[in-house]
Structure 1
Amino acid sequence: MKVVVTGSTGFVGGAVARTLLERGDQVLGAARSPHSPLDEARGLVPFPELMAALADPDGPVADEVAAELADVDAVVHAAGDPTFGNGAHYEQANVAITERLVALLRRHAPGLRRLVLTSSIGAQDRPLDAPLDAPIDERSNPDPASDYGRSKLAAERVVAESGLPFRILRLGMVVGEDMRPASHLAAMLRVGLGPGGVVLRRAAGTLPLVHVDDVVRAVATAIERDDAPKLSLVVAGSPTIAEVTAHATGRSAHVMKLPSAARRRLPFSLRSTFSPELRVADVALSSVGWRPERSWQESVDEVAAVVRRRTDPSIAPPGLTLVTGAASGLGLAVATRLAGRRLVLLDRDGGALAQVAARLDAVATIVGDLRDDLSSQLDGVAVAQGQPYLEAFLCAGMGAKGPFLAGTDRAAGIDAIDINLTARLRLARHLLRYMRAARFGRLVLVSSSTALSPMPQFAAYAASNAGLLTFGEAVAHEVQSDGIHVLTVCPSGMDTRFQERAGVRRVDGEKLLDPSDVAEAIVGGLRHPGRHVLMVGTLTHAMNLFERLAPRRIQPVIWNRLVAARR
């Protein structure tokens, strides 16, 4: 079967696409963001031309779009935007795109057997005058209380009036380990597992939960069964917030009932927190054999484990951990500290790397120069292991001391720019695609104390580290909402061969950091997802203070004298 999945990099769309691939279907994925290399290796065919056509209603339809749709069997429309926005935003993201998709399918997909729209229980909600003792089902009158819900209901009507063979699935709160950290249950458990649990263990609001695996099975049923209902809620259970929090924390729930007078005065967002507004009956899809296989308790346990993992780096993630420069120095110390994880070790010294890999029981090694594009080798390991990269510690780098007008690129520091900055950015961009698809990741960029000030005799080297530092701080905020923690580390000099290779002589009495101590500090820094820069070493902290207090124009003058005197 040939299936197009829109929103195929999203939580629901991605899960649907992967399952269809596993069962042998041909899957075309249409999404705004790039797919994970692992999904493409499994056979998913990116279909960016379709998203371009949906985004531009007045533009010509590319020949590739018409050709691919001509023999498509099914379309799963999971694209949309549940994030905060106003009515106009949702109109574009959820309604207009659905209208354009329907128009394209009517024109170019003559053999379409099924269009499945994944909608939301937000299109349903409960009217204020509806009795609380009556659970919601497909016959209940929809009364969405938000712009988002109204846009989803409008999209449902577009599909229902399209004349195409459709099925609409109103999904409850879809949960699983790959959900975004700011989404409903994950965000609630982050509060509930902390001091806020005291309040949440009293909340009577209901959570219509369903595990993403059960949603995928519902989508498959909607595609395959001609007798499946045209509209179905997809929910596995409706526990109260108090029950969910109590289950996650192992403590007792003490539900507080909301007086009816107060209920009528509250907006739906608060009403649904303290009143059982979204209690759902047995869903219509059960009439054709669909039943949830994951209980709400199992779903809560899975998400709670991820919430804990985000703030506890001692818990190994269910994926690969890449360490560069792993044959010596800080890379070796980090790899040793992380022994027990599914380590993928990278270094250009193949002999030393093999010995380290054997000692640490690494799952794979990559011998290569960071200046080369190593993406195909990284992807090969991910495919062979069947797992994505969820952690990456980019420790490998090179130093360079000397005047910028020195005779060679290496002496001038040009090679340092290539390795310390360009190569790391290329690696980071590739690895972040894996992490974004999993909505979890840790990316550690090892910079240097030299990133903090302009440093004569280290001009290009310091610039490479300064560039890495500002890049790390910026990209950390770009990917934070995807559950990815980017930490840029600025250690002062370490007791490794790094300085010797850079041409820096040691000074008598100079105290250099032990790499194992820096590795331990890095792991400690990962316990704080809101921290994006980690200073390690007394000298680094002193340089940071100096950079803040000293006028910029005199900093290179002072450093030039210090370097000349000590180095």
Structure 2
Amino acid sequence: MTAARTVLVTGASGGIGRGVCEALAEEARLTGHSLRLAVHGSRESMALSALVSDLTSADGEGEIEARAFVADLTDAGACNNLIGQVIDWAGRLDSIVSNAGQSRPGKLANLPDEDWQATLDLNLRATWLLARAAYPALTETRGTITAVASMSGLSPHPGYGAYSTAKAGLVMLCRQLAQEWAGDGIRVNAVCPGMIRTPLTETVYQDEDTRRKRESLVPLGRIGTPRDIGDAVAFLTSDKASYITGVALRIDGGLSEGMLNLIPGRPDKVR
């Protein structure tokens, strides 16, 4: 009998993290494969407990088991313990989806030291700490790491200098790990979401004028959803992507490539 695939998803309680978990669970149900989802949060919460309940009770052919884990990912010891706890529970580790992050806006000229450090610690350093701790286990399973970066890591984002720097570093970290660990059969990729409607951004989209203006910037004409990111992550962690490593996949509805569409006076403007 094939052992259940085990995936750790950090920052899983809501938004993109939840979308990733739902996509992984649906894939397991559709393919009839067993899946163990280790869902991480920075603290115990009703949202994390509800996610575990929803994932475990899902109907389908594949057996799905979920368990919540709590850890401070800015602490090296806590990252080591988290990986150990997941392996103790499941007996193996096949994939890490490093999604936990935070954004502390502020211009670099007067950004407080603690905001800079906290942003880099969670958005960049935590992925390295988890990867380093999980390296032996991922070598055994020829596993994967998929990190959730941002389009802000591909282009400067004024007013979010620490976040943009951290996400750019995260993209490079994934590329570096992909090269160093390819010989061990470990694949490492990043996804770079564009504008995504999540609980954290919901207040922005409650304003209809703002929503319409944002949608008008996206060539595909809509704001992304957590599931858009989740489906891409599910693909990258699967065997269907077995020849893909070191990529930074933009998931932004064409926004990054469509900036020239915004120049006023273009005679061939699409929208």
* Shared fold (TM-score, shorter chain, > 0.5): yes
CA distance, structure 2, for counterparts of residue 364 and residue 389 of structure 1: 14
CA distance, structure 1, for counterparts of residue 7 and residue 68 of structure 2: 11
Report the equivalent of 2:69. Answer: 366
Residues 407 and 485 from structure 1, CA distance in 2 versus in 1: closer, same or farther, beyond 3 angstroms?
Answer: closer
Contact 2:24–2:230 (8 Å) recurs in 1: no
1:345 to 2:31 alignment:
no
Residue 446 of structure 1 and its aligned partner are, at CA, apart by 0.6
1:416 to 2:139 alignment:
no
Residues 494 and 317 from structure 1, CA distance in 2 versus in 1: closer, same or farther, beyond 3 angstroms?
Answer: farther
Residue 414 of structure 1 and its aligned partner are, at CA, apart by 3.1
Secondary structure class of the residue paired with 2:40: strand
Report the equivalent of 2:241. Answer: 528
1:440 to 116, 120, 142: 142
TM superposition score normalised by structure 1: 0.37
1:487 to 2:189 alignment:
yes
Residue 469 of structure 1 and its aligned partner are, at CA, apart by 0.3
Counterpart of 1:445 in structure 2: which amino acid?
Answer: A
Instruction: Summarize deviations over 1:233-277 as a string: whole Å, max 9, x none.
Output: xxxxxxxxxxxxxxxxxxxxxxxxxxxxxxxxxxxxxxxxxxxxx
2:100 to 392, 396, 413: 396
CA distance, structure 2, for counterparts of residue 439 and residue 359 of structure 1: 27
Report the equivalent of 1:476. Answer: 178
Secondary structure class of the residue paired with 2:196: coil
Contact 1:327–1:349 (8 Å) recurs in 2: no
Secondary structure class of the residue paired with 2:94: strand
Secondary structure class of the residue paired with 1:444: strand
Residues 500 and 514 from structure 1, CA distance in 2 versus in 1: closer, same or farther, beyond 3 angstroms?
Answer: closer
Counterpart of 1:542 in structure 2: which amino acid?
Answer: E
Structure 1: unaligned runs, 5 residues or longer:
1-301, 303-315, 547-567
Runs of 4+ in 1 over 6 A off after TM superposition: none
1:354 to 2:49 alignment:
yes
Contact 2:86–2:93 (8 Å) recurs in 1: no
Report the equivalent of 1:118. Answer: none
Report the equivalent of 2:59. Answer: none
CA distance, structure 2, for counterparts of residue 346 and residue 396 of structure 1: 9
The 5-angstrom pairing of residues 268-417 of structure 1 reads 318-339=4-25, 341-351=35-45, 352-361=47-56, 362-373=65-76, 374=78, 375-385=80-90, 387-406=91-110, 408-409=112-113, 412-417=115-120
Contact 1:490–1:540 (8 Å) recurs in 2: no
Secondary structure class of the residue paired with 1:471: helix
Counterpart of 1:486 in structure 2: which amino acid?
Answer: V
Instruction: Summarize deviations over 1:311-365 as a string: whole Å, max 9, x none.
Output: xxxxx97442101111001110111112251111101241221111122124422
Residues 370 and 508 from structure 1, CA distance in 2 versus in 1: closer, same or farther, beyond 3 angstroms?
Answer: same
Residue 487 of structure 1 and its aligned partner are, at CA, apart by 1.3
Counterpart of 2:241 in structure 1: which amino acid?
Answer: H
Instruction: Summarize deviations over 1:413-440 as a string: whole Å, max 9, x none.
Output: 432111000111111211222111x141
Counterpart of 1:442 in structure 2: which amino acid?
Answer: T
Contact 1:399–1:416 (8 Å) recurs in 2: yes
CA distance, structure 2, for counterparts of residue 416 and residue 539 of structure 1: 27
1:456 to 2:151 alignment:
no
Contact 1:327–1:347 (8 Å) recurs in 2: yes
Residues 336 and 452 from structure 1, CA distance in 2 versus in 1: closer, same or farther, beyond 3 angstroms?
Answer: same
Secondary structure class of the residue paired with 1:456: coil
Instruction: Summarize deviations over 1:374-396 as a string: whole Å, max 9, x none.
Output: 212331331243x1211111111
Counterpart of 1:382 in structure 2: which amino acid?
Answer: I
Q: Which has the larger radius of gyration?
A: 1
The 5-angstrom pairing of residues 163-312 of structure 1 reads none
CA distance, structure 2, for counterparts of residue 491 and residue 378 of structure 1: 26
Structure 2: unaligned runs, 5 residues or longer:
26-33, 57-64, 216-222, 261-271
Counterpart of 1:390 in structure 2: which amino acid?
Answer: D
2:253 to 534, 538, 543: 538
| Bigger relative contact order (CA 8 A; separation at least 6) | 2
Counterpart of 2:230 in structure 1: which amino acid?
Answer: A
Residues 409 and 441 from structure 1, CA distance in 2 versus in 1: closer, same or farther, beyond 3 angstroms?
Answer: same
CA distance, structure 1, for counterparts of residue 130 and residue 40 of structure 2: 12
1:428 to 2:131 alignment:
yes
Report the equivalent of 1:514. Answer: 225
TM superposition score normalised by structure 2: 0.74
CA distance, structure 2, for counterparts of residue 331 and residue 540 of structure 1: 22
Q: C-alpha root-mean-square deviation of aligned residues, in Å?
A: 2.9
Instruction: Summarize deviations over 1:77-134 as a string: whole Å, max 9, x none.
Output: xxxxxxxxxxxxxxxxxxxxxxxxxxxxxxxxxxxxxxxxxxxxxxxxxxxxxxxxxx
Percent identical pairs in the alignment equals 26
Contact 1:325–1:331 (8 Å) recurs in 2: yes
Residue 368 of structure 1 and its aligned partner are, at CA, apart by 2.3
Report the equivalent of 1:237. Answer: none
CA distance, structure 1, for counterparts of residue 211 and residue 18 of structure 2: 26
